Structure 1
Amino acid sequence: MNSIDYLRISLIDRCNFRCQYCMPEGSELEYLLRQEWLTREEILILLREVFIPLGFTKFRLTGGEPLLRPEIVDLVRDITALPETEDLAMTTNAFYLAKMAQDLYDAGLRRINISLDSLDRDTFDKIIGNRGKSRWQKTWEGIQEAYRVGFDPLKLNVVVIPGVNDREVADLAALTRDRHWHVRFIEFMPIGNAELFGDRAWIPSEELRQNIREKWGLESAEIQGNGPADVFKIPGAKGTLGFISQMSECFCDRCNRMRLSADGWLRPCLLNETGQIDLKTGLREGISPRQLREQVRELLSLKPEINFKQRDSGTEQGMYTRTMSQIGG
């Protein structure tokens, strides 16, 4: 089991997209009130006095869409200023990134993951649930600006959905040939979207690799990061290809992360909330950070037994009923 030193921090449960694998059409979402979010000060208290003393040195800011969170640039600056912070990254849909990339970079952010599930405007808008003016162009401009500013590595996350965007895998992989970009193909996950999850709702990563291997060839590669991707590259390419295979090649034994939701719940697993701790209520009711740290320490000791493999029974205690946006995946 890896040492657990990586915390994903959801800053907000809201998003300006409604991706079908994250917020399925027809799902009724009740957003948190702003006063229910962990405040900037509370996040920093938890990092300084709970997580860092327990060995956490790597952090990722997520949502919802983290760029919707007020004071996001200040929070990035605060976290990167902590002496113990070894790595800070962010996951975003890039819609607001063109106007914010430089400020985020100047605040100390260096690594960024961007969701880009299609290069086709119509397919992109279908996936994100958009029925108005296309949002593809602003997303693409955000990616280009992040590249210009100097984010490295710049990763593009692609959730591969059969019959929707699977025919674009080769085109998306080709982005890495002459750009220092890193495309990561993610197997579709059954979280709050059971109506989309059938016998062929996800494509095994090995099938994608084989298709790319037949077209260009593949060789092993490496890239900076804390995630579970298996990394390859097209021979001669500037960038890399990652494959996150949570459905076909379970990687629980390599997991080094915990998840902190926007409303302060600490969870040990994306699909299993057994043992979760309400850190926000503890802080606001006057429980000392030292006591909270001991609660987290106990949950860390249980983490090897709390894993994604239990996903096969959606009725078991501890399984998620929230959508991905509410979890802060």
Structure 2
Amino acid sequence: MNQVDYLRISLIDRCNFRCLYCMPEGSQLDYILQQQLLTNEELLTLIEEVFIPVGFTRFRLTGGEPLLRPRVVDLVRAIASFPQTQDLAMTTNGFLLAPIAQSLYDAGLSRINISLDSLDPDIFHQIIGIHGRSRWQEVWDGIQAAYRVGFNPLKLNVVVIPGVNDHEILDLAALTIEKQWHVRFIEFMPIGNGQLFSDRGWVSSAELRQQIRDRWGLTESQVCGAGPADVFQIPGAKGTLGFISQMSECFCDRCNRMRLSADGWLRPCLLNETGQLDLKTALRSGVSTYQLQEQVKNLLVIKPEINFKGRDSGVEGAYSRTMSQIGG
């Protein structure tokens, strides 16, 4: 198993989209109250005095939608300023990105992933659950702004939903030919909207690769990421194509990450709540950061036994929160 040195941090559980693969249509989520969120000061304390001392050096800010978090640029600057921070990335839907892309870059954000599930504004709005063509344009403007200010690599995340956007695979893959963009195709998972998953199923990465191979050819890329994606390249393309195959090709044995929810729960596995720690309550109760270090160390030891245990008993029963609440 890889060294676990990568922490995904959910800054907020709210989102300004209601994506099909994240929230069931018509659902009402119980959002975390403001006072239940980790404050910026608490989060920075946990990073500096708990996570860094036990070996975490790479961090990704997620949500919900992380750009909804107040003072997000200040938070990026503070995390980037720790000498031990080797990499600081963010995953965003891009809607609020364009006006602050330069500020995030200047604050020390290393990399950015932007969700772009369709190039067709109508399909895009069907997926995000909110209508109005400007939403697609705002996201596209955010992508262009991130590229312009110098984020490299710039990654675009695509969740492939059968019968919704799977016919766009070639168009999305073509984005990597002329620009140094990195498109990541993600297999649809039954988190947040199990009914849609039951109705439509999922398309395997192998099928997607074959479509692209038949059109242009496909080679393994020399650019290898540190995450779970298997990386390929269209011959002669400037960018790459990644395939995240959590449904068809389990990669638990090379999982190098943990997840911290916006209300302070440390989770060793996306698909399993076993072993999670309530760090916020402990911190507010006066538990020392040294004691929290020891608890996290113990969780790191048992993480290989926890990873993805929900698969055998049925994935749907292995967790209770939606993807927006977990942080992805």
Q: TM-score, normalised by structure 2?
A: 0.97
Contact kept, 8 Å, 1:77 with 1:108, in 2: the verdict is yes
Contact kept, 8 Å, 1:2 with 1:253, in 2: the verdict is yes
Alignment of 1:123-272 (within 5 A): 123-198=123-198, 200-223=200-223, 225-272=225-272
SS at 1:197 equivalent: helix
SS at 1:271 equivalent: coil
Cα distance in 2, alignment partners of residues 281 and 194 from structure 1: 31
SS at 2:46 equivalent: helix
* Corresponding position of 2:324: 325
Cα distance in 2, alignment partners of residues 185 and 139 from structure 1: 18
Shift of the alpha carbon at 1:227? 1.4
Q: Deviations over 1:37-60 (max 9, x none)?
A: 111111111111111111100000
Is the alpha carbon distance of 1:306 and 1:7 closer, same or farther for their aligned partners in structure 2, counting shifts above 3 Å? Answer: same
1:282 and 2:267 correspond: no
Contact kept, 8 Å, 1:21 with 1:188, in 2: the verdict is yes
Alignment of 1:41-120 (within 5 A): 41-120=41-120
Identity %: 75
Cα distance in 2, alignment partners of residues 68 and 223 from structure 1: 32
Contact kept, 8 Å, 1:9 with 1:262, in 2: the verdict is yes
Counterpart residue identity of residue 325, structure 1: S
Greater displacement, 57-66 / 306-315: 306-315
Contact kept, 8 Å, 2:224 with 2:231, in 1: the verdict is no
Counterpart residue identity of residue 59, structure 2: F
Q: Deviations over 1:173-193 (max 9, x none)?
A: 000000010000000001121
Contact kept, 8 Å, 1:12 with 1:37, in 2: the verdict is yes
SS at 1:126 equivalent: helix
**Where does structure 2 lack aligned partners over 5 or more consecutive residues?**
none
SS at 2:7 equivalent: strand
Counterpart residue identity of residue 170, structure 2: A
Cα distance in 2, alignment partners of residues 119 and 315 from structure 1: 30
Contact kept, 8 Å, 1:153 with 1:224, in 2: the verdict is no
SS at 1:176 equivalent: helix
SS at 2:25 equivalent: coil
Shift of the alpha carbon at 1:199? 6.9
SS at 1:53 equivalent: coil
Is the alpha carbon distance of 1:114 and 1:295 closer, same or farther for their aligned partners in structure 2, counting shifts above 3 Å? Answer: same
Shift of the alpha carbon at 1:197? 1.4
Q: Deviations over 1:1-20 (max 9, x none)?
A: 00100000000000000001
Shift of the alpha carbon at 1:309? 4.6
Greater displacement, 223-232 / 48-57: 223-232
Cα distance in 1, alignment partners of residues 300 and 61 from structure 2: 20
Moved over 4 A (4+): 314-317
Contact kept, 8 Å, 2:163 with 2:200, in 1: the verdict is no
**Where does structure 1 lack aligned partners over 5 or more consecutive residues?**
none
Shift of the alpha carbon at 1:23? 1.4
Cα distance in 2, alignment partners of residues 64 and 325 from structure 1: 4
Is the alpha carbon distance of 1:162 and 1:121 closer, same or farther for their aligned partners in structure 2, counting shifts above 3 Å? Answer: same
Shift of the alpha carbon at 1:326? 0.7
Greater displacement, 217-226 / 167-176: 217-226
Contact kept, 8 Å, 1:118 with 1:124, in 2: the verdict is yes
SS at 1:59 equivalent: strand
Q: TM-score, normalised by structure 1?
A: 0.97
Shift of the alpha carbon at 1:201? 1.5
SS at 1:304 equivalent: helix
Aligned-residue CA RMSD (Å): 1.4
Contact kept, 8 Å, 2:272 with 2:309, in 1: the verdict is no
